[in-house]
Structure 1
């Protein structure tokens, strides 16, 4: 696959770069992260006006029908700016999963509102006891007259407190850790019995704990095939992992740039500390890790829509595992090279490191993806 940008992709890259430069200077981001919502409605509307909220949707629903290359371009730029809006959760994961598994009537009713930014959606798949295992589902869905009744808990739902809709995985058959018997349901986040408790994560981004108590949904809220949703959940998790890898590349790239700038201005013994060879070697290692991360993310992009699921899983897990470890090393180097200042919230370096830490822990950390990769070999 040729990853040099064509004219349209370059226009997209320039558009997103201008948005980040205009809206995401460090102090503005700090204020947004400390606000009750944790992100900006104005920024969300701007993303909708540019069509970015419909990046992965089909044209019939107001989408752009973009592929992995465009997602890579957008998420890398968002990583450089540490963007706070629920773009990944709603526009790249929730919306595209709904388009993949929902019936035509639900698609026509909800997808245009998601594309325009009027509504938001999040995937609620992980549970307190499950860690990263998508098949470890204790949340139950039992058939009742005209629909289903859901009971259970979901943890660390990205931007769940601002979502209008939740895609919930629930067990309709089998034991708690069976791969068979998992189904997906579309749930109104404000329906009776739905409790959502939102809070800021380590990196300032919002997450939520969701509890479902006798939540009744109609029969058409069942998304896709009953009992066989694990395949679709794994597909959605891989889309999220790929987007997070692209975002991490942007974070690591900007973090390395900030470190180089600091070494060129901080003086010791009458000269910039960046002139010391030992520190130059450490920066060279950081630059090498960034390029390695970018390369493996491009490899994941080339396989993201591979018809053979095993190829997609291997490519995405390889990228997520490598980037998690590279991000940790780059973050450690950046903080050490900045000295004590690197540990403070007043400096952007610490926030980039926090975001990279959360990216590693989202949808499976490095160790999880090494195990997942090995299971397919």
Structure 2
């Protein structure tokens, strides 16, 4: 990492430590929502083609994952902004990206109830300038003021903007396993929409997987830190359980798993295949570390008083986000 990237990480971590509801401060003081927005549209990114260096975005995601932050970064600053940029519609970007860069919440409606996030088959269909259908697992849709919809057209997937307040647009929040990840179903009934142009959903999915992988790596690292700390304090037979050789071996294996997850996450932007690798490996790494966290903490880990159950829920919820592991394994080994 460069000194500037280290400073970004330190700044995000310090802010998360002092702010119980950090989204406004993250946007105003650090500009996390502007990282993916090119400078000409009011953001911080110098790459006008694809937004900020993806590494900076992943650094933020890794720090957010460490504390399971309840913020709309992944759904708004990553999914929505990336989808909008792939349309190459400058007028839409000039109108919407400055809002998103300042912290307005955006949402991208895409997948069906099967949760496959298929780039070729959006759940919603377009009939001219109206949309019909239901998109599921829409991140931060209930709070979004900018609502974009990936819809199937005769010429392939295209991106549309809809008014969240229109009577033909219904947003229904769904109860999720992970209470820090806000999902909703967006139902469109002949909803009028503004076409923004063809959208590269394959590109959007790969960016989302790379950022999610960094978030999972951050969560896994913190879960392991908490577990190691507990085993150094919890005593059995007159000494800390962390001194037992069997537990030392288990935690050493987890350390290797966490480090390989970080490596996979930061390599993910290099190619679609590596994005798929990161999606699978980082998801499995977090699930494994979270399960070991439960085991090594014992009964306290499944109570509301302890954060272990939150890491466990995040692990299993993110494992299915942007498509189940077997779908991405098929991309690695076609």
Tell me if both proteins adopt one fold, taking TM over 0.5 as the criterion: yes
Cα pair distance change 1:98/1:255, threshold 3 Å: same
Select 2:279's aligned residue among 317, 320, 325: 320
Paired with 1:9 and 1:346, the residues of 2 have a C-alpha distance of: 34
Aligned to 1:361, the other structure's residue is in SS state coil
Aligned to 1:208, the other structure's residue is in SS state strand
Offset at 1:135?
Answer: 2.7
Does residue 121 in structure 1 map to residue 106 in structure 2? Answer: yes
Residue of structure 2 in register with 1:202 after alignment: 177
Does residue 355 in structure 1 map to residue 314 in structure 2? Answer: yes
Q: Is the 8 A contact 2:227 2:297 kept in 1?
A: yes
Q: Deviations over 1:90-122 (max 9, x none)?
A: 1122123213315222211111111112x2211
Paired with 2:286 and 2:203, the residues of 1 have a C-alpha distance of: 24
Q: Is the 8 A contact 2:176 2:183 kept in 1?
A: yes
Q: How does 1:233-252 map to 2 (within 5 A)?
A: 233-252=201-220
Offset at 1:123?
Answer: 1.1
Q: Is the 8 A contact 2:110 2:117 kept in 1?
A: no
Paired with 1:374 and 1:323, the residues of 2 have a C-alpha distance of: 17
Q: Is the 8 A contact 1:130 1:137 kept in 2?
A: no
Q: Is the 8 A contact 1:76 1:250 kept in 2?
A: yes
Residue of structure 1 in register with 2:57 after alignment: 71
Offset at 1:138?
Answer: 4.7
Aligned to 2:189, the other structure's residue is in SS state strand
Cα pair distance change 1:91/1:132, threshold 3 Å: closer
Aligned to 2:93, the other structure's residue is in SS state helix
Residue of structure 2 in register with 1:222 after alignment: 195
Offset at 1:324?
Answer: 1.8
Paired with 2:108 and 2:91, the residues of 1 have a C-alpha distance of: 20
Aligned to 2:333, the other structure's residue is in SS state helix
Aligned to 2:135, the other structure's residue is in SS state strand
Q: State how many pairs are aligned.
A: 326
Offset at 1:129?
Answer: 4.3
Q: Deviations over 1:38-74 (max 9, x none)?
A: xx4xx32212212111011111222111202111211
Paired with 2:137 and 2:319, the residues of 1 have a C-alpha distance of: 14
Aligned to 2:119, the other structure's residue is in SS state coil
Offset at 1:259?
Answer: 0.5
Paired with 2:239 and 2:123, the residues of 1 have a C-alpha distance of: 61
Offset at 1:125?
Answer: 0.6
Paired with 1:89 and 1:10, the residues of 2 have a C-alpha distance of: 24
Paired with 2:188 and 2:170, the residues of 1 have a C-alpha distance of: 6
Offset at 1:203?
Answer: 1.2
Paired with 1:17 and 1:241, the residues of 2 have a C-alpha distance of: 22
Paired with 2:325 and 2:70, the residues of 1 have a C-alpha distance of: 23
Q: How does 1:81-92 map to 2 (within 5 A)?
A: 81-92=67-78
Q: Is the 8 A contact 1:157 1:209 kept in 2?
A: yes
Residue of structure 1 in register with 2:97 after alignment: 111
Offset at 1:367?
Answer: 1.6
Select 2:164's aligned residue among 189, 211, 224: 189
Q: How does 1:275-290 map to 2 (within 5 A)?
A: 275-290=243-258
Q: How does 1:95-106 map to 2 (within 5 A)?
A: 95-106=81-92
Aligned to 1:224, the other structure's residue is in SS state strand
Q: Which moved more, 1:102-111 or 1:235-244?
A: 102-111
Paired with 1:181 and 1:64, the residues of 2 have a C-alpha distance of: 31
Residue of structure 1 in register with 2:226 after alignment: 258
Unmatched runs of 5 consecutive residues or more in structure 2? 46-51
Give the ranges of 4+ consecutive aligned residues of structure 1 lying more than 3 Å apart after TM superposition. Answer: 129-132
Residue of structure 1 in register with 2:5 after alignment: 9
Residue of structure 1 in register with 2:37 after alignment: 57
Q: Is the 8 A contact 1:238 1:316 kept in 2?
A: yes
Q: TM-score, normalised by structure 2?
A: 0.93
Residue of structure 2 in register with 1:19 after alignment: 15
Q: Is the 8 A contact 1:321 1:370 kept in 2?
A: yes
Paired with 2:123 and 2:83, the residues of 1 have a C-alpha distance of: 21
Does residue 370 in structure 1 map to residue 329 in structure 2? Answer: yes
Residue of structure 2 in register with 1:169 after alignment: 150
Does residue 292 in structure 1 map to residue 292 in structure 2? Answer: no
Paired with 1:181 and 1:74, the residues of 2 have a C-alpha distance of: 33
Q: Is the 8 A contact 2:112 2:122 kept in 1?
A: yes
Cα pair distance change 1:137/1:48, threshold 3 Å: closer
